[in-house]
Amino acid sequence: MRREDLADSSCGIAQSLGVVGDWQSLLIVREAAAGVTRFEGFARELGLSRRALTERLGGLVEHGVLEKVPYSEHPPRHDYRLTASGEGLLPVLLALQEWGTRFVMGDGTTSGALGDGDLARVRALEGRQVPDVGLAAHDGSTVRLVDPDRWTALFFFPGAYAPGTHGYPPRWGEVPGTAGCTLECVSYGSRHAALEAAGTRVLGVSTQHPEQLAAFAAHADLPYLLASDQDGLAASALRLPVFRAGGADRLKRVTLLVDPRGTVRAVQAPVTDPAQSVDDVLDLVRDLRRRSGVDGTGSAAPGSPR
């Protein structure tokens, strides 16, 4: 089949390849998901020639994957932002990432544990800005990854289910890295008051459906929100490591400590002791706030130089 014939095909795969069938276009979508919006930003991150980048951006706009949003009239300048159609491609990116990690860089084994490539990618998040992403919380609200008034202990986990909800996939316990989700969530609950006193909110994120998270939060009596990344918005924005189990992409266990300005100040990876990791986060946020001299509201911390 010739490329020019793809638009006439009745196959959805072929039609999709007619829009994003080259590596450059998919990487542009990847960067857009991570918060890049400006032409120069795409050029810097991807190293494409201006001509190639102009052509790819134009094609993605033409097909409704990106939209141009003016931010300057003189001279005319635009942001390029993902549309609903573009966000619909994010699970494709996650599937490619999981396949590449598992089969290209790995031996084909399913694992929820972090590999060397995973570790390098998540540790590189320290010092970076967290994109403005909103997720469905278990209480029906929309919650954002950054709280401008507080620090955020943002922990990503594979999955936790209330008893009797038929949630865990077959042979879940045999997948490395999946054990400890309930313990981690409950440990954050037991340290919640201390973390709040330290000017830090807790937000747990998995790819489970909101109703599954609601059932677990009620069962475990959690005093904080759990959020669903079932559409891959957060995973794509932060390029988080994933694995596939039970027919769905699952987040590998990673914790980010995010300040009120949205900067990742510390990364916990790997998390090998879920309960101890919560105490480590509490120590970290106390230390970082003391050294930065800024409390959870952006004011000078007590006892800090003014």
Domain that holds residue 24: 3-87
Identify the CATH number of the domain in which residue 262 sits. 3.40.30.10
CB 109 within 8 A of CB 121: no
What percent helix, strand, coil does the chain show, rounded to 5? 40, 20, 40
In a domain, 101, yes or no: no
Structure tokens at 16: 């999709």
Do 195 and 51 lie in one domain? The reply is no
In a domain, 95, yes or no: no
Sign of the Cα torsion 110, 113, 119, 123 reads positive
The whole-number pLDDT of residue 259 equals 96
Q: For tokens 């599937």, name the residue.
A: 95
Do 23 and 132 lie in one domain? The reply is no
The whole-number pLDDT of residue 294 equals 54
Do 198 and 278 lie in one domain? The reply is yes
Do 113 and 14 lie in one domain? The reply is no
Q: Say how far residue 287 (Cα) sits from the centre of its chain.
A: 25
Quote the pTM value. 0.89
Do 20 and 152 lie in one domain? The reply is no
The whole-number pLDDT of residue 4 equals 54
Do 162 and 206 lie in one domain? The reply is yes
CB 254 within 8 A of CB 122: yes
The whole-number pLDDT of residue 292 equals 74
In a domain, 236, yes or no: yes
Of 40, 55, 87, the position where a domain reaches its end is 87
Mean pLDDT by 10 residues, the chain (306 residues): 58 90 95 96 96 97 97 92 97 94 93 94 97 96 97 97 85 93 98 97 97 97 98 96 93 98 97 95 93 56 40
The whole-number pLDDT of residue 291 equals 85
Identify the CATH number of the domain in which residue 53 sits. 1.10.10.10
Buried b or exposed e, range 133-148, using 16+ CB within 10 angstroms: bebbbbeeeebbbbbe
In a domain, 164, yes or no: yes
